[in-house]
Amino acid sequence: MKRVVLLVLDSVGIGALPDAHLYNDQGANTLANIAESLGGLNLPNLQKMGLGNIHPIKGVEPAESPIASYGKMAEKSPGKDTTTGHWEIAGYILDKPFPTYPNGFPKDLIEEFERKIGRKTLGNYPASGTQIIEDLGEEHVKTGYPIVYTSADSVFQIAAHEEVIPLEELYEMCKIAREMLVGDHGVGRVIARPFVGQPGNFSRTTNRKDFSRLPDRKIVLQSLQEEGYEVLSIGKIWDIYGGVGITRSLKSKSNLDGLEKTLESLKGDFSGLIMTNLVDFDMLYGHRNDVEGYGKALMETDQMVGKILDNLKEDDVLIITADHGCDPTHPGTDHTREYVPVLVYGKKLPVQSLGVRESFVDVAATLVKIFNLKDQYNGKSLI
């Protein structure tokens, strides 16, 4: 059986890309800056895989004899958001970035949306999700108007109190927005952002739901599925790809829950890919500038990586990478335009420095090689 585990450490970047100045991200380095701020990180399993051989990280020394191949990948697509990064990992390089709305969405688009949902809206500006419900939550509860906002990413987000607008109605509003947001307004994701609580004490729930723009070119997940392989997604992966190319999906409540589900899935028999997204790094720590929380989550993940390594079979392959950066030490709360680390482990694989790769598509090219797929993607295999 051919089996690959692909862990995407959401937002765990490893240094600013050469064009980072175009995004005001000079000096960003999610991993190294967190380690420096905390006086070092203790990541023994990732260290022995070669993480410290990619770039200096305080507390993570280069391994003399790493057990995995190690390197870093540049993002070839323009942008620095989740959808762009994941699409490129799956073999799709964007020609132009997804649209963003630093001044909010056009008035005519919002008016059309309001007409279709039968309610006025609040907000319509870029904001932190926790801050905007603090600012507008009370008015929302009084009026029943959903809160529409965006961020530096290509997203149309709708926040609503679960007792004011029931979840199914909120999801229906998102579907309406998704149908509208095409062409020049084809944002990467429409996101339902439900919350609960009282004014002054609102909190978001785990009932978030993403409605992604679907890739309009073939991705490697579809190639795997067509060849009869299982593609199991864990965490946010189903939402990011809109289910395209996925045969089975498991939701996760946290990084650790996603890793536990990955570990449990490895104990079963199947041929194909397990692709897991660990979103807490980005959602809970990167965007909230929580350096300490981010560092703790990295160390917790490292422990689970050790368990995954122990449960890999003779022919299994583990690939660990990321989709973009989100340096919590960097000014602002947005993603950062960074290289991402890549580690490739298999008991039968030779170990080598992978250097600096031109594109995340090298992951898709690696899956093509491992599974002997007919479709080719414009990258170079990591193996």
Task: Give pLDDT tens digits for 186-197.
Answer: 999 999 999 999
The predicted model scores a pTM of 0.92
Residue 12, both tokens: 């765990």
Distance of CA 225 to the CA centre of its chain: 22
Distance of CA 76 to the CA centre of its chain: 16
User: For position 340, what pLDDT does the model report?
Assistant: 98
Q: Say yes or no to pLDDT of 153 above 90.
A: no
Distance between CA atoms of residues 331 and 197, nearest Å: 30
Neighbours of 65 (CB within 10 A): 7
- Tell me which residue of 277, 205, 209, 184 sits closest to 237, measured CA to CA: 277
Domain end point (choices 212, 232, 257): 212
DSSP 8-state secondary structure symbol assigned to residue 331 = S
Mean pLDDT of the chain: 96
Q: How far is CA 93 from CA 151, 212, 361, in A?
A: 22, 16, 8
User: For position 206, what pLDDT does the model report?
Assistant: 87
* pLDDT tens for each residue of 326-336: 999 999 989 99
Q: Say yes or no to pLDDT of 167 above 80.
A: yes
Q: Say yes or no to pLDDT of 303 above 80.
A: yes
Q: Say yes or no to pLDDT of 55 above 80.
A: yes
User: For position 292, what pLDDT does the model report?
Assistant: 98
Domain end point (choices 212, 227, 248): 212
Q: Say yes or no to pLDDT of 1 above 80.
A: no
Which residues sit in the known binding site? 10, 282, 287, 323-324, 335
Q: How confident is the model at residue 222 (pLDDT cuts 50, 70, 90)?
A: very high
User: For position 88, what pLDDT does the model report?
Assistant: 98
Task: Indicate whether 367 and 229 sit together in one domain.
Answer: yes
* pLDDT tens for each residue of 92-115: 999 999 999 999 999 999 999 999
Q: What percent of the chain has pLDDT over 90?
A: 96
- Residue 313 in any domain: the answer is yes
Assess contact for 158 and 177: CB atoms under 8 A.
yes
Task: Indicate whether 92 and 160 sit together in one domain.
Answer: no
- Residue 290 in any domain: the answer is yes
Distance between CA atoms of residues 271 and 227, nearest Å: 11
Could you give the residue ranges of the DSSP H alpha helices within 90-235? 107-117, 129-143, 167-180, 220-226
Task: Indicate whether 181 and 294 sit together in one domain.
Answer: no
More confident site: 356 or 153: 356
Distance between CA atoms of residues 312 and 348, nearest Å: 11
Residue 141, both tokens: 């509860």
- Tell me which residue of 93, 122, 123, 97 sits closest to 365, measured CA to CA: 93
Q: What percent of the chain has pLDDT over 70?
A: 100
Average pLDDT over residues 270-278: 97
Which residues sit in the known binding site for Mn(2+)? 10, 282, 287, 323-324, 335
What lies within 8 Å, CB to CB, of 8 at 6+ separation is 86, 89, 237, 275, 276, 277, 278, 321, 322, 323
Task: Indicate whether 9 and 139 sit together in one domain.
Answer: no
What lies within 8 Å, CB to CB, of 138 at 6+ separation is 199
User: For position 152, what pLDDT does the model report?
Assistant: 82
Task: Indicate whether 185 and 297 sit together in one domain.
Answer: no
Distance between CA atoms of residues 90 and 246, nearest Å: 12
Task: Indicate whether 292 and 351 sit together in one domain.
Answer: yes
Task: Indicate whether 18 and 37 sit together in one domain.
Answer: yes
* Range(s) of the domain holding residue 233: 3-97+214-371
Task: Indicate whether 115 and 125 sit together in one domain.
Answer: yes
User: For position 349, what pLDDT does the model report?
Assistant: 97
Domain end point (choices 158, 188, 212): 212
Domain containing 186 — which CATH number?
3.30.70.1250
* pLDDT tens for each residue of 287-302: 999 999 999 999 999 9
Exposure on the CB side of residue 46, measured as CA atoms within 13 A: 27
